Amino acid sequence: MTGEIAKEYIALIPNLFGSFSELNKDSVGLTHMQNHVIEFMYMQQKALNLKNISTGLNIAKQQLTNVISDLEAGGYLVKVPDTKDKRAVLVSLTPLGREIVEKKWKKIYLKFSQNLTKLSDEERLDLQFALHKVNVLLKKMEDEV
């Protein structure tokens, strides 16, 4: 039974990734890495230093520095000196940075909603239940580790 569950789980990953990639296509005019940083910053809802961002995204600080500079030049992020650590800077989203993330998720939601119209009412209920159940069970597995 474990083998069959693992097989279904592994099959789910490319399906979800492919579906999400299609929904996300052309939603923002940023590189993959820039989008990753903006999303992370948005989810944190606070200013972070480069080390926090680097650790949170598992990206080398050297690689992150260029991405942050490009996002700052584009008006998506702002850097300010860290008052607690004079050697560090804090990075935060600008209103434009927040806006681009919110617009992206609205576009994804609209595309997803349009895709749902391809399903019958019963299929939509099945999908809702299946997604809910998968989320609950995966969270339970994570919590018990």
CA dihedral of residues 129, 141, 18, 106 (deg, nearest 10): 60
Q: Which residues pair with 81 in a beta bridge?
A: 89
pLDDT of residue 82: 84
Q: How far apart are CA 30 and CA 35, in angstroms?
A: 6
Domains in the chain: boundaries: 2-143
pLDDT at 116: 94
Helix (H, G, I), strand (E, B) or coil at 118: coil
- Residue 8 exposed, middle or buried by CB count within 10 Å (0-12, 13-18, 19+): exposed
**pTM for the whole thing?**
0.74
Contact in structure between 15 and 26 (CB atoms under 8 Å): no
Kindly report the CATH number that applies to the domain delimited by 2-143.
Answer: 1.10.10.10
pLDDT at residue number 42: 95
The secondary structure of 69-107, three-state, reads HHHHHCCCEEEEECCCCCCCEEEEECHHHHHHHHHHHHH
Tell me, what's the pLDDT at 102? Answer: 93
Give the chain's residues under pLDDT 50: none
- In the DSSP assignment, the letter for residue 19 is H
CA distances from 24 to 48, 107, 108, 110 (A): 26, 8, 6, 11
